[in-house]
Structure 1
Amino acid sequence: MREHPRVATVITRLEGGAGLVALRCALAQHADSWPITLVTGSAGELVRRAERAGLDVVVEPALRKPIVPWWDLVALFRLTALFVRGEFDVVHTHTAKAGAVGRTAARLSAVPRVVHTYHGFPFHRFQSRWLRLCYTAVERLLGRLTDDVLCVGDGVATEAVRLGLAAPERIRAVGVPVSLESPRANTESRRRARRALRIPEDRLVVGAVGRLTYQKAPEDLVDALARLPRTDVCGVWLGAGELRNRIERLARDRLGDRFVFAGQRSDVAELLPALDVFALPSRYEGLPLAVIEAMLCGLPVVATAVNAVPDLVVTGHNGVLVPPRRPDLLAGAISGLLDDPAERARMGGAGNRGVDGERFGIAAVTRELGFVYRGE
């Protein structure tokens, strides 16, 4: 295989943490003269960012997240034709629907190497047992079509091996790419971020980053903050999503004006210093990019102990882990940190020092991808 194989990166929607990971890797490899084509089902801010950077982007509207057999067959036909025309050496899929349609199309078009990344799983403990079994069976079949299965975080990789989603020797844990130069929280960066979010200097701020979706459980963060006995605490959510209207109403009813919904932002790293505590209330996750960026910023993290999150957060060291769907325990952990500035500073410093550049630096992650694409 040539030194820089021709790669098609396929993702259902270029958004959220998985979208950022796929885009950052594609942009880094594009800058290193790799011939990369990004294939996604819908346009958006990250697609526009890719196009502005000169990346070859194909928007395929038939590639949709919901299971709709007609559109899925159309997407399969069109992706197969695209892979044949493009003479790709590698197809690398991200997320469940792109993984199913993209891997099948890659094999139908005789692409030499097929790679899939699990940013988490399409099945989780809050689904019915029957649905989990169906999803697991499908993923096992798709695993037979896949040369390398990449899992973001050791927790996700361990679960993939346990479930038999592919042969163990074809599964490997990888990091997610972050900018190691992200701004650290200090007096000046905090002042700028709070000014941008219109949050008073005298407030204590607890914030989260992510899409407002069922997975992220934003209602649990609102519930947790409403349980706190103090009224000088403000919540912040950076991100958009289909639950925004409902969660905004809930926050208004429970917290009045003490919750800021900042929407989708391209300057998240610059806004994180506004926070005193970073919160991740998710029902399920992969290896959350937002947690790593919060740690780089020097923030203590209160998170749910799901999937690969314990790879990052160690209770008593750089944050506190709680079970999912327990806003009472989430509130207790947040309250303890808000009441103890010295402990917040200690945990934030430990988190910052614990981000391994060899695992999470953009250069390190894309170098690892190069080995995978060449079959090394």
Structure 2
Amino acid sequence: MRRLHVATLVTRFEAGAGIVALRGAQALDPALFRTTVITGRGDRLLGLAADSGIEVLVEPALRSPVSPGDDLLVLRRLTGLFRRSRFDVVHTHSAKAGTLGRLAAHRTGVPRIVHTFHGLPYHEFQSRPRRGTYIAIERRVGRYTDVALCVGTAVAVEVVRRGLVSPERVRTIGVPVDLEAPVRTPATRFRARAELGLHRPGPVVGAVGRLAYQKNPETFVRALAALGRAEVTGVWVGGGELAARVRESAARERVPLVLAGERANVPDLLPAFDVFALPSRYEGLPVAVVEAMVGEVPVVATAVNSVPDVVVPGRTGLLVPPQRPDLLADAIGWLLDHPREAARMAAEARTRIGDVFGAKALGEELTAAYATS
């Protein structure tokens, strides 16, 4: 049988969406598929893809902010590329790549068009006109979408409720994580703290994600300040455009905060945390929160989008509203003060994760989604 050629298009080949795109491509049977990743920019994932034998094409004009000139240029270039390369499947990730990629694939008659909703491009923190515009765009390109893979139940429900894609084309998937990652023990905790350079005694409250508006690091800093415990150290793993602002905020609030930057081995670092905090304004289902649960790290997260798929209040972690640093601080404090209950929830979280979030499960979902007959 001829191998199907898949174009995986993602705006930024980094962070959660990039990790899911890469691990999905790696999980495919190489006897059946070959993958070309097309992206506007990337980090260490570019090298990991090359090491896996995956072709990567970088189109610098493909950027997240709305830019009519660049967007039209990317659309023309993608249309030309799809005509020349005759891909069997175009699989898009993220809003910008999803819109331009699906339009170009439709124009060129690509046999199968798949899109992954990691979250939704509209949310409650936008103006109503902007939110309405995003919904209208998604409905239009939804007509050209053969399969919509939604990361988490809440995302799938919203896609159906808003009529973004026909219901029979919507499927719910998880995020792929390393199910063999280290569990939090005294030994792994010691090693992870040493690697992060944490020599100060006392509890560590950590977060993972881009230092960007969506991930809401400002609320993380304010929550640590509201916690009022000088012995607690905060750690944020990940880089981004808000790094300088977050550093200044921590200094102003007199919060001990380590900005660890981008790290290739996040699962190995998670045992350093006594509590994992997810302060996001909006999400799909973040890879990092599932990785924390695999590592049996107690979790507190904002009750947004598909996060409650895995963070079940009182069973596998604690939930708080977004934009409430006071309540986030209370939840962090409770977990620190009740280590037995926190450990019980962390253990149940690991059990519930099971094997649903492994790369094998995602590979099977993609194989079914890419089937053209």
**Coarse TM-score class (shorter-chain normalised):** over 0.9
Q: Which residue number in structure 2 is paired with residue 150 of structure 1?
A: 149
Query: How many angstroms does 1:85 deviate by?
Result: 1.6
Q: Which residue number in structure 1 is paired with residue 102 of structure 2?
A: 103
Q: Please say if residues 14 and 42 of structure 2, whose CA atoms lie closer than 8 Å, have aligned partners that are also in contact.
A: no
Distance 1:181 1:31, change over 3 A: farther
Q: Which residue number in structure 1 is paired with residue 336 of structure 2?
A: 338
Distance 1:31 1:209, change over 3 A: farther
Deviations 1:218-247 (A, max 9, x none): 010110111113211110000000000000
AA aligned to 2:363 is: T
State whether structure 2 residue 201 is matched by structure 1 residue 202: yes
Query: How many angstroms does 1:33 deviate by?
Result: 5.3
Query: How many angstroms does 1:375 deviate by?
Result: 4.1
Q: Which residue number in structure 2 is paired with residue 361 of structure 1?
A: 358
Query: How many angstroms does 1:175 deviate by?
Result: 1.1
Q: Please say if residues 41 and 64 of structure 1, whose CA atoms lie closer than 8 Å, have aligned partners that are also in contact.
A: yes
AA aligned to 1:364 is: A
Q: Which residue number in structure 1 is paired with residue 60 of structure 2?
A: 61
Deviations 1:124-151 (A, max 9, x none): 0000111111110110001001111110
Q: Which residue number in structure 2 is paired with residue 305 of structure 1?
A: 303
**Cα root mean square deviation, aligned:** 1.3
Q: Which residue number in structure 1 is paired with residue 257 of structure 2?
A: 259
Q: Please say if residues 30 and 55 of structure 1, whose CA atoms lie closer than 8 Å, have aligned partners that are also in contact.
A: no
Q: Which moved more, 1:340-349 or 1:320-329?
A: 340-349
AA aligned to 1:51 is: A
Q: Which moved more, 1:247-256 or 1:8-17?
A: 247-256
Aligned-residue sequence identity (percent) comes to 54
Q: Please say if residues 194 and 201 of structure 1, whose CA atoms lie closer than 8 Å, have aligned partners that are also in contact.
A: no
Q: Please say if residues 62 and 74 of structure 1, whose CA atoms lie closer than 8 Å, have aligned partners that are also in contact.
A: yes
AA aligned to 2:268 is: E
Q: State how far apart, in whole Å, the 2-side matches of 1:298 and 1:201 are.
A: 22
Equivalent of 2:279 in 278, 281, 290: 281
Q: Please say if residues 278 and 301 of structure 1, whose CA atoms lie closer than 8 Å, have aligned partners that are also in contact.
A: yes
Q: Which moved more, 1:246-255 or 1:193-202?
A: 193-202
Equivalent of 2:316 in 297, 315, 318: 318
Q: State how far apart, in whole Å, the 1-side matches of 2:11 and 2:370 are.
A: 21
Q: Which residue number in structure 2 is paired with residue 170 of structure 1?
A: 169
Deviations 1:79-132 (A, max 9, x none): 111112211110000000000110011011110010000000111000011111
* Dislocated runs of 4+, deviation >6 Å: none
Q: State how far apart, in whole Å, the 2-side matches of 1:375 and 1:309 are.
A: 32
Equivalent pairs, count: 373
Q: Please say if residues 2 and 32 of structure 2, whose CA atoms lie closer than 8 Å, have aligned partners that are also in contact.
A: no
Q: State how far apart, in whole Å, the 1-side matches of 2:239 and 2:352 are.
A: 29
Q: Which residue number in structure 1 is paired with residue 267 of structure 2?
A: 269
AA aligned to 2:130 is: L
Deviations 1:25-54 (A, max 9, x none): 112226555211111012422112212322
User: Partner of 2:353: helix, strand, or coil?
Assistant: coil
Deviations 1:263-308 (A, max 9, x none): 0000111100000010000000001110100000001110000000
Q: Which residue number in structure 1 is paired with residue 240 of structure 2?
A: 241
Task: Specify every segment of 5 or more residues in structure 2 that has no aligned partner in the other structure, as ranges.
Answer: none
User: Partner of 2:57: helix, strand, or coil?
Assistant: strand
Query: How many angstroms does 1:200 deviate by?
Result: 2.9
AA aligned to 1:263 is: G
Q: Please say if residues 239 and 264 of structure 1, whose CA atoms lie closer than 8 Å, have aligned partners that are also in contact.
A: yes
Task: Specify every segment of 5 or more residues in structure 1 that has no aligned partner in the other structure, as ranges.
Answer: none
Q: Please say if residues 153 and 175 of structure 1, whose CA atoms lie closer than 8 Å, have aligned partners that are also in contact.
A: yes
State whether structure 2 residue 18 is matched by structure 1 residue 19: yes
Q: State how far apart, in whole Å, the 1-side matches of 2:30 and 2:231 are.
A: 46
Query: How many angstroms does 1:206 deviate by?
Result: 0.6
Distance 1:24 1:370, change over 3 A: same
User: Partner of 2:33: helix, strand, or coil?
Assistant: coil
Q: Which moved more, 1:44-53 or 1:219-228?
A: 44-53
Equivalences for residues 126-141 of structure 1 within 5 A: 126-141=125-140
State whether structure 2 residue 122 is matched by structure 1 residue 123: yes
User: Partner of 2:73: helix, strand, or coil?
Assistant: helix
Q: Please say if residues 27 and 362 of structure 2, whose CA atoms lie closer than 8 Å, have aligned partners that are also in contact.
A: no
Q: Which moved more, 1:33-42 or 1:273-282?
A: 33-42
Deviations 1:130-186 (A, max 9, x none): 111111011000100111111001110001101100111111111111111111011
Q: Which residue number in structure 2 is paired with residue 296 of structure 1?
A: 294
Distance 1:248 1:235, change over 3 A: same
Q: Please say if residues 3 and 374 of structure 1, whose CA atoms lie closer than 8 Å, have aligned partners that are also in contact.
A: no
User: Partner of 2:184: helix, strand, or coil?
Assistant: coil
Distance 1:145 1:33, change over 3 A: closer
Q: TM-score, normalised by structure 2?
A: 0.97
Q: Which moved more, 1:202-211 or 1:26-35?
A: 26-35
Q: Which residue number in structure 2 is paired with residue 222 of structure 1?
A: 221
Equivalent of 1:372 in 365, 369, 373: 369
Q: State how far apart, in whole Å, the 2-side matches of 1:329 and 1:3 are.
A: 55
Q: State how far apart, in whole Å, the 2-side matches of 1:30 and 1:212 are.
A: 35
User: Partner of 1:249: helix, strand, or coil?
Assistant: helix
